């Protein structure tokens, strides 16, 4: 039984079934999420008999670091984790001034098939459990704690489509958000989706404080369908209509992600089409030059073309940020390292 799969009520029931007093569950919970213990032997405030029971009954090591890559500038580290069944996933730590952002995975592989994405090129393997999602954060929380640093942001933009694994993704966020445990603020999470309309509506109705990002990448359906097969099921207008519903329900701004591909979707004309689509919607566009992958021939936009795209959007009243690519020298784009294994 994976310890990170257990929320506090379930852990309490388990301890009760072992004949332990109720307060032991809170001690274990705080040890896991506040002291970052990752072995029963570290829980020295517990009786030896309970530590032995935990060692026999609970799995504390569901993800095993198999390979680390560090970027040449020292600002990005990518870890390949091996799961119990042999599948692999990736987690990336990105350092930005005082921020320490984690990009975590929600699935092994991905079923969405976006042509420019290395994970999409791998195909779908399986969903991660909520505990396997949590474990990625705790691994780096522990490592940063040893350096007297903390995780500041968590983005679910690694391998997989988080809304395809909705229940486990939200359970992981709730566990990490728990005030008696890791107490990681909801507004410091960002979920990225290709635009699964029913899941966006559900997310809107739950009125969570978690940030929402939509991978759009094109302003008209023909182009987006060539890049993202999901557009056949949920076209751009359906996605944007659901985004308007989300904003109306929550009052929160949406981020649209845009991989700038040279000569494909990086022109001022495409920017103006996008601005027309987004007019009146509380939003922001995050544009980033394409991360190259072996399975896609497209190239990243140039700096000059990216600036012109941004200017065209802003002239039309849509705020836009050109994001810096991180870890290109270590294949830090999601799925690139796992794909090589």
Taking 60 as the threshold, does the pLDDT of residue 333 lie above it? Answer: no
CB 278 within 8 A of CB 320: no
The interaxial angle of helices 8-17 and 23-33, nearest 10 deg, is: 130
Judge whether residue 331 has pLDDT over 80.
Answer: no
> Which residues lie below 8 Å from residue 248, measured CB to CB, with a gap of 6+?
none
Active site (annotated) includes residue 334? yes
Higher pLDDT, 326 or 125: 125
Name residues whose C-beta falls within 8 Å of residue 141's C-beta, 6 or more positions apart in sequence. 36, 150, 151, 182
Does pLDDT of 335 surpass 50?
no
- CATH architecture of the domain formed by 63-340: Alpha-Beta Barrel (3.20)
Mean pLDDT along residues 269-298: 93
Q: How confident is the model at residue 336 (pLDDT cuts 50, 70, 90)?
A: low
Rounded mean pLDDT, 89-102? 94
How many CB atoms lie under 10 A from the CB of residue 14? 18
Q: What's the gap between Cα 261 and its chain centre?
A: 22
pLDDT tens digits, residue range 179-199? 999 999 999 999 999 999 999
Adjacency order of strands within the sheet including 211-215: 63-70, 76-83, 88-96, 99-103, 153-156, 189-193, 211-215, 254-260, 283-289, 320-322
Catalytic, out of 62, 110, 320, 334: 334
Q: Judging by beta carbons within 10 Å of its beta carbon (0-12, 13-18, 19+), is residue 235 exposed, middle or buried?
A: middle
- Pairing verdict, β 211-215 and 189-193: parallel
Determine phi and psi for 259, rounding to 5 degrees.
-80, 115
Q: Stretch 297-304: mean pLDDT, rounded? A: 91
* Contact indicator for 88, 118 with CB cutoff of 8 Å: no
Cβ–Cβ < 8 Å for 30, 180: yes
Position 325 scores a pLDDT of 60
Give pLDDT tens digits for 151-188.
999 999 999 999 999 999 999 999 999 999 999 999 99
Every domain of the chain and the residues it spans: 3-57, 63-340
Q: Is the pLDDT of residue 340 over 70?
A: no
Which pLDDT tens digit goes with each residue over 231-242? Answer: 999 999 999 999
> Is a pLDDT exceeding 80 seen at residue 313?
yes
- Tokens, residue 91: 């987690």
**pLDDT tens profile 103-115:** 999 999 999 999 9
Q: Are 299 and 290 in contact (CB under 8 A)?
A: yes
Q: How confident is the model at residue 216 (pLDDT cuts 50, 70, 90)?
A: very high
Contact assessment for residue 133 and residue 166, using Cβ atoms and an 8 Å cutoff? no
Active-site residue, from 20, 62, 90, 270: 90
**Mean per-residue pLDDT of the chain:** 93
Q: Which fold has domain 3-57?
A: DNA polymerase; domain 1 (1.10.150)
Output 58 or 323, whichever has higher pLDDT: 58
Lowest mean pLDDT among 23-32, 70-79, 317-326: 317-326
Reported as a single tens digit per residue, the pLDDT across 13-23 is 999 999 999 99
Whether 103 is catalytic: no
Quick one: pLDDT at residue 334? 54
């Amino acid at each position: 039984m994976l310890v990170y799969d257990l929320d506090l009520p379930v852990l309490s029931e388990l301890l009760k079934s072992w004949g332990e007093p109720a307060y032991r569950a809170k001690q274990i919970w705080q040890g896991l999420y506040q002291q970052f213990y990752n072995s029963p032997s570290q829980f020295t405030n517990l009786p030896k008999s309970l530590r032995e029971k935990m060692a026999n009954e609970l799995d504390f090591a569901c993800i095993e670091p198999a390979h680390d890559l560090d970027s040449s500038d020292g600002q990005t580290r990518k870890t390949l984790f091996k799961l119990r069944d042999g599948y692999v996933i990736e987690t990336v730590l990105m350092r930005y001034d005082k921020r320490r952002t984690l990009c975590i995975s929600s699935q092994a592989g991905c079923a969405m098939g976006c042509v420019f994405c290395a994970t999409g090129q791998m195909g779908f393997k399986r969903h991660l459990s909520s505990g396997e999602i949590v474990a990625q954060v705790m691994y780096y929380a522990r490592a940063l704690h040893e350096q007297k640093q903390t995780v500041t942001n968590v983005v679910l933009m690694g391998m997989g489509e988080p809304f395809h694994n909705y229940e486990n993704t939200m359970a992981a966020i709730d566990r990490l958000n728990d005030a008696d445990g890791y107490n990681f603020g909801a507004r410091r999470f960002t979920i990225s989706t290709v635009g699964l309309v029913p899941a966006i509506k559900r997310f809107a109705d739950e009125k969570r404080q978690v940030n929402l990002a939509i991978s759009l990448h094109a302003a008209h359906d023909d182009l987006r369908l060539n890049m993202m097969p999901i557009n056949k099921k949920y076209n751009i207008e359906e996605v944007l209509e659901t985004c308007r519903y989300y904003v109306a329900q929550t009052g929160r701004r949406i981020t649209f992600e845009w991989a700038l591909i040279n000569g494909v979707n990086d022109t001022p004309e495409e920017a103006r089409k996008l601005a027309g689509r987004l007019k009146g919607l509380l939003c922001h566009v995050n544009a980033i030059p394409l991360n190259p992958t072996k399975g896609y021939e497209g190239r990243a936009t140039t700096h000059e073309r990216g600036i012109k795209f941004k200017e065209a959007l802003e002239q039309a009243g849509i705020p836009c940020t050109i994001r810096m690519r991180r870890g290109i020298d270590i294949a830090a784009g999601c799925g690139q390292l796992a794909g090589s294994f």
